[in-house]
Amino acid sequence: MIRFDQVSKRYSTGQEALSGLSLELTAGEMTFLTGHSGAGKSTLLKLIMLMERPTHGQLLVNGKNLNRLHHSQIPYYRRNVGVVFQNHQLLFDRSVFDNVALPLLVSGYQSREVGRRVRAALDKVGLLDKEKLNPIALSGGEQQRLGIARAVVHKPRILLADEPTGNLDPKLSAEIMDLFRQFCEVGVTVLIATHDVELISRMGLRLLELEQGRLIHDRAPVYAA
């Protein structure tokens, strides 16, 4: 589904965030990505989102070489990817419902279809009764779940998450992870960047560890969990 082939990324500041990275994620796989701050986790996610372009090497997503994707095609590509941000990236000038509806409106769904899908997504993350609230009224865990609902409402084939449990307590973190696992089970490729070592070890999933832009560890999933 996602293949990095000798990918390097050097920022204009001269900092090399990734160097010669090669890895492959198969479809429907759930993978953790870890490493110290500045190890290149965020850069890796940004490359998949096409927020950045590789300096060297090739990145293939769903068989498509992203280097050859024209700038004008990026929006259509992004509609196949859902992202959950650590800082949620919610819009506080509209309701919970409208936040989740955004990816659908952008892709031009009919309003009937929008309502149905938004409610399905909100139901999935347990926020159906809060659709009319402003996201500012939600707790941290609820905001994160709202971010997840928005990331999956358009049924993307790839789901990326950057520190999705960053500020949450272990119980909430476990809930969030359980959600991700459910999406993985229906065939979504999930990649989660996180520091939360305890959580990772508990879930026993595939683990990629980055250090200074290189892959230093690729632990196979442990099916005991």
Partner 1 sequence: MQRNRRIQPSRIGKPRDNKPREQRRGATDSRADYLDKLKSYIQNHRQIFFNTFRRLAAEPVQTLMTSLVVAIALGLPAALYVGVVNLQQLGSRVETTSQLTVFLKNDAVESAIAQLQEQLTSDPDIASVRYISRQQALDEFQALSGFGDVLEMLDENPLPAVLIVQPDDRFHADLVASEGLVGRLKALPLVDDVRLDMKWMQRLQGMLQVGQRLAFSLGIALAFGVLLIIGNTIRLAIENRRDEIVVVKLVGGTNAYVRRPFLYTGIWYGAIGGGIAWLLVAVGLLWISGPIGRLAELYQSIFKLQGLGFSGLIAMLFLGAVLGLMGAWLAVAKHLASIEPR
Nearest to 118 by CA among 150, 80, 160, 75: 150
Q: Is 37 in the site for partner 1 (CB under 8 A)?
A: no
Q: Is position 113 an interface residue for partner 1 (rule: CB under 8 A)?
A: yes
Contact flags string 129-168 toward partner 1, x per CB under 8 A: ---------------------x---xx-------------
CB-side neighbour CA atoms (13 Å) of 116: 5
Instruction: Pick the closest to residue 188 from 107, 94, 124 (CA basis).
Output: 124
As measured in angstroms, the least distance from the Cβ of 154 to partner 1 is: 8
Instruction: Choose the stretch contacting partner 1; rule: CB under 8 A; options: 21-29, 88-96, 131-139, 192-200.
Output: 88-96
For residue 137, the minimal CB distance to partner 1 (Å) is 18
Q: Is 110 in the site for partner 1 (CB under 8 A)?
A: yes
Q: What CA–CA distance (Å, rounded) separates 17 from 214?
A: 9
Residue 11 structure tokens: 């920022």
Cα separation, 191 vs 56, in Å, equals 22
Select the residue interacting with partner 1 from 25, 59, 83, 191 (CB under 8 A): 83
What minimum distance in Å lies between the beta carbon of 77 and partner 1?
Answer: 8
Residue 112: Cβ within 10 Å count: 8
Give whichever of 75 and 140 is closer to partner 1, judged by the CB atom: 75
**Contacting residue, 111, 139, 167, 182, with partner 1 by CB under 8 A:** 111
* DSSP conformation class of 163: S
Q: Which stretch binds partner 1 (CB under 8 A): 102-110, 178-186, 187-195, 216-224?
A: 102-110
- Name 9's bridge partners: 18
C-alpha to C-alpha distance for 142 and 209, rounded to whole angstroms: 29
Please pick, from the candidates 26, 73, 167, 182, the single residue that binds partner 1 as defined by CB under 8 A: 73
Can residue 27 be called a binding residue for partner 1 (CB under 8 A)? no
List strands edge to edge, sheet with 30-35: 81-84, 158-162, 189-193, 30-35, 206-211, 214-219
Which spans of this chain sit near partner 1 (rule: CB under 8 A)?
49, 51, 72-73, 75-79, 83, 89, 91, 93, 102-103, 105-111, 113, 150, 154-155
